[in-house]
């Protein structure tokens, strides 16, 4: 099966050679929660950004003029934090992009157009069923008469996925936009958000990416691979700055009229709802979806100013039968989006 088309002219996992050896970038102060402007003034944008802008604008225009579909911007996967300009090493996080890729499929199934802002090489809608080490596509094949074909055991299931994938492609409903580093993520998110302003309340932001909280600012990133001789008493010390919390900026400046959903990931059940509520109070957006690292595929909680906390849970039996929690989450999100559109259209 052909994987969804990726961008051909650039790879976000390559270092930005234009400034990989530039040491003249200005000093960036330790981040406060309101330092977004400072961040963008002191960090260079990815060079390929104009290419992305063109694609995003064409996609929005197409749906504005031809389909009138609502648009979901789904962010997905983890962000990397390079430790060197010419990056050999980086800090990463656990996110494989399962939540984002799965949710995107259910948005598409519900007639949304989807901009899928994802960590390059993380899971993608549709191809996720047959990729990565747990679902290697070769396991779905058999050899017959010295030819390779799909194992009949899986062909019904594959055909179903293929039809949906094909439909998303021919209807131009899925736009794949990659990032790798936290800097690429922030610049690209800002760009897409601002382009989506004209689509107003027909847009839903579904921010499922696991964004790094700490990074090394460009001005103090080592130029070349850190040498083992750089250690002190056998220890390597790395100083990380806080990534500015961009969500407040997104809500107040980068968007206009869209419904905004953030996620709250915790590992301690006792603080999940409290943290979700405090995010709502701080950022004044419409919904926080809380999940625990350990149980994120089985249960989530919707925390919003307009309804009581609402848990969505799968039973063990449902899980065993392959039910995906996103199949219940996305219709619930869409019901809230309906209400949001009704309220903000008056």
- Residue nearer to ligand PMT on the CB measure, 69 or 333: 333
Q: Is 264 a residue that touches ligand PMT (CB under 6 A)?
A: yes
Classify the C-alpha dihedral 89-94-96-102 as positive or negative. Answer: negative
Q: In this structure, what token pair is assigned to residue 156?
A: 């019904």
Q: How far is CA 316 from CA 50, 172, 297, 322, in A?
A: 47, 36, 11, 10
Q: In this structure, what token pair is assigned to residue 70?
A: 């609502």
Pairing of strands 71-76, 113-119: parallel
Strands (E), 78-139: 81-82, 90-91, 113-119
Number of residues that bind ligand PMT (CB under 6 A): 20
Q: Is 95 a residue that touches ligand PMT (CB under 6 A)?
A: yes
Q: Is 299 a residue that touches ligand PMT (CB under 6 A)?
A: no
Q: Is 337 a residue that touches ligand PMT (CB under 6 A)?
A: no
C-alpha dihedral (173, 179, 184, 187), degrees to nearest 10? 10
Q: Is 84 a residue that touches ligand PMT (CB under 6 A)?
A: no
Integer Cα distance of 52 and 182 in angstroms? 17
Integer Cα distance of 250 and 51 in angstroms? 22
Pick the binder of ligand PMT from 164, 197, 225, 296 (CB under 6 A).
296
In whole angstroms, the minimum distance from the beta carbon of 200 to ligand PMT comes to 21
In whole angstroms, the minimum distance from the beta carbon of 213 to ligand PMT comes to 6
Q: Select the span of 43-51, 170-178, 242-250, 330-338 touching ligand PMT (CB under 6 A).
A: 242-250
224 neighbors 84 (Cβ within 8 angstroms): yes
- Residue nearer to ligand PMT on the CB measure, 293 or 306: 293
Pick the binder of ligand PMT from 124, 243, 258, 329 (CB under 6 A).
243
Pick the binder of ligand PMT from 124, 247, 287, 334 (CB under 6 A).
247
Q: Is 211 a residue that touches ligand PMT (CB under 6 A)?
A: yes
- Residue nearer to ligand PMT on the CB measure, 188 or 291: 291
122 neighbors 96 (Cβ within 8 angstroms): yes
Binding site for ligand PMT (CB under 6 A): 95-99, 207-208, 210-211, 213, 243, 245-247, 262-265, 291, 296
């Amino acid at each position: 099966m052909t994987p969804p088309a990726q961008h051909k002219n650039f790879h976000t996992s390559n270092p930005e050679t234009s400034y990989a050896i530039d040491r003249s970038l200005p000093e960036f102060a330790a981040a406060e929660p309101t330092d977004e402007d400072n961040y963008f003034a002191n960090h260079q944008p990815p060079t390929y950004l104009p290419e992305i802008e063109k694609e995003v604008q064409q996609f929005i225009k197409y749906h504005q003029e031809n389909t009138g579909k609502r648009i979901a911007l789904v962010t997905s996967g983890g962000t990397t934090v390079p430790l060197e300009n010419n990056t050999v090493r980086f800090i990463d996080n656990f996110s494989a992009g399962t939540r984002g890729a799965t949710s995107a499929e259910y948005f598409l199934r519900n007639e949304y157009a989807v901009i899928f802002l994802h960590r390059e090489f993380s899971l993608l809608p549709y191809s996720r069923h047959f990729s990565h080490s747990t679902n290697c596509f070769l396991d779905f094949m058999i050899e017959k008469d010295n030819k390779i074909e799909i194992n009949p055991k899986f062909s019904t299931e594959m055909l179903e996925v293929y039809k949906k994938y094909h439909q998303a492609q021919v209807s131009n409903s899925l736009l794949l936009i990659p990032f790798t580093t936290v800097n690429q993520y922030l610049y690209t998110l800002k760009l897409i958000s601002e382009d989506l302003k004209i689509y107003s309340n027909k847009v839903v932001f579904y921010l499922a990416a696991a964004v790094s909280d700490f990074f090394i600012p460009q001005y103090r990133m080592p130029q070349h691979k850190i040498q083992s001789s750089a250690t002190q008493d056998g220890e390597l010390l790395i100083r990380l700055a806080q990534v500015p919390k961009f969500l407040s900026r997104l809500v107040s400046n980068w968007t206009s009229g869209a419904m905004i959903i953030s996620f709250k990931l915790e590992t301690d059940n006792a603080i999940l709802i409290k943290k979700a509520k405090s995010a709502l109070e701080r950022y004044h957006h419409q919904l926080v979806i809380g999940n625990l690292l350990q149980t994120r595929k089985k249960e989530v909680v919707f925390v919003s100013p307009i309804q009581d906390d609402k848990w969505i849970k799968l039973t063990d039996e449902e899980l065993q039968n392959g039910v995906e929690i996103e199949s219940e989450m996305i219709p619930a999100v869409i019901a809230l989006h309906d209400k949001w559109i009704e309220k903000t259209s008056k």
